[in-house]
């Protein structure tokens, strides 16, 4: 996938995240089990943000210790994620929604037709399009930090329903330091699963690391992915896992070398970017969990 030029607005999170536990990793990588449960009609978008703009609202998400692998029908996923910096399963109406960005007709809805942990999941619809990057719809979580982390982890479940031959940037972790943005992006599609690393400057530097064909995401089924970024001194490495098994191990993030500090860590999921597609693209997310270790 060609590297793209895009911007994800930053959202400052409030005290709910500032008080989170950031140290324990026990059980963090356990994937959920079982298949998706069916529900009712598509739900309305719960975000109150304007099209194409992230809103500065607190996440209101709980933190606590992961006690193991939850069943898909055992209730809200986040009830069992008690050691994550943040968690979102789209199942608690009272929890403020993650801030959303939409562009070029990209649509996100809270959907109850094919959730992994009942009752809801996040559905993304993009396209059709004739130009790469025409449409976007994604949600973000930004956490202010005072020191450069040693580890940042993002887990999510994804289901690709209609993707044609497109490649989709579906999730990312970014470290922001002043005007610099260091980002690791996971691209998925019918024939893609890769980590793309970038240092956003002018022009951005980009390096891609692809997963073998037999370790990629299958259409029409829920897959759990985890991107684990670790730092030793000034060097960073990335590991990408699918359903609890490593697909890419200790990939060097060369464009991240030498980061001297951080102001914030930004997590994003959805349709961050996609290649052109003559048909609409539809995919879903559920059971997000993120961790920042100082």
Tens of pLDDT, residue by residue over 199-220, are 765 445 667 888 866 677 888 9
Query: What SS3 state is found at 16?
Result: helix
pLDDT band for position 76 (cuts 50, 70, 90): confident
Of residues 166 and 72, the one with the higher pLDDT is: 166
* Better-predicted residue by pLDDT, 51 or 241: 241
**Bridge partners, 206 (sequence order):** 198
Q: To the nearest whole number, what is the mean pLDDT of the chain? A: 76
Question: Taking residues 65-78, what's their average pLDDT?
Answer: 47
Q: Any idea of the CA torsion for 209, 154, 273, 162, to the nearest 10 degrees?
A: 90
Report whether 113 contacts 96 (CB < 8 A): no
Q: Beta strand 136-144 with 264-274: parallel, antiparallel or unpaired?
A: antiparallel
Which residues are paired to 56 by β-bridges? none
**DSSP H helices in the chain:** 15-18
Does residue 256 sit in helix, strand or coil?
helix
Q: What is the pLDDT averaged over residues 18-23?
A: 33
> For position 100, what pLDDT does the model report?
94
Predicted confidence (pLDDT) at residue 31 exceeds the cutoff of 80: no
Does 115 have pLDDT greater than 80? yes
Cβ count within 10 A of residue 264: 17
Query: pLDDT digit string (tens) for 178-198?
Result: 988 999 999 998 778 888 887
Return the closest-CA partner of residue 290 out of 159, 123, 173, 177: 173
Q: Mean pLDDT over residues 35-58, rounded?
A: 34
In angstroms, what CA-CA distances link 256 with 9, 58, 211, 288? 20, 28, 20, 24
């Amino acid at each position: 996938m060609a590297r793209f030029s895009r911007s994800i607005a930053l959202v400052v999170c409030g005290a709910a995240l500032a008080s989170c536990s950031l140290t324990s990793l026990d059980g963090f990588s356990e994937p959920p089990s079982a298949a998706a449960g069916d529900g009712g009609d598509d739900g309305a978008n719960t975000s109150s943000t304007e099209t194409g703009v992230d809103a500065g609202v607190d996440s209101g998400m709980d933190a606590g210790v992961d006690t193991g692998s939850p069943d898909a029908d055992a209730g809200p996923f986040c009830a069992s994620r008690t050691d994550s910096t943040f968690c979102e399963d789209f199942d608690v109406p009272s929890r403020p929604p993650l801030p959303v960005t939409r562009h070029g007709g990209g649509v996100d809805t809270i959907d109850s037709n094919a959730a992994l942990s009942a009752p809801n999941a996040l559905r993304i619809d993009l396209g059709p399009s004739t130009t790469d990057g025409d449409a976007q719809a994604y949600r973000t979580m930004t956490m202010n930090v005072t020191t450069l982390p040693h580890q940042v982890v993002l887990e999510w479940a994804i289901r690709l329903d209609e993707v044609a031959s497109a490649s989709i940037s579906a999730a990312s972790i970014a470290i922001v330091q002043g005007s610099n943005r260091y980002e690791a992006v996971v691209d998925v599609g019918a024939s893609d699963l890769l980590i793309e690393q970038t240092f956003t400057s002018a022009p951005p530097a980009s390096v891609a690391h692809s997963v073998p064909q037999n370790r990629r995401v299958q259409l029409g089924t829920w897959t759990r992915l985890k991107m684990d970024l670790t730092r030793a001194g000034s060097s960073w490495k990335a590991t990408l896992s699918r359903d609890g098994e490593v697909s890419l191990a200790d990939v060097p993030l060369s464009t991240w070398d030498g980061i001297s500090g951080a102001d914030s860590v930004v997590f994003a999921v959805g349709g961050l970017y996609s290649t052109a597609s003559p048909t609409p693209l539809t995919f879903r997310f559920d059971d997000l969990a993120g961790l920042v270790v100082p």
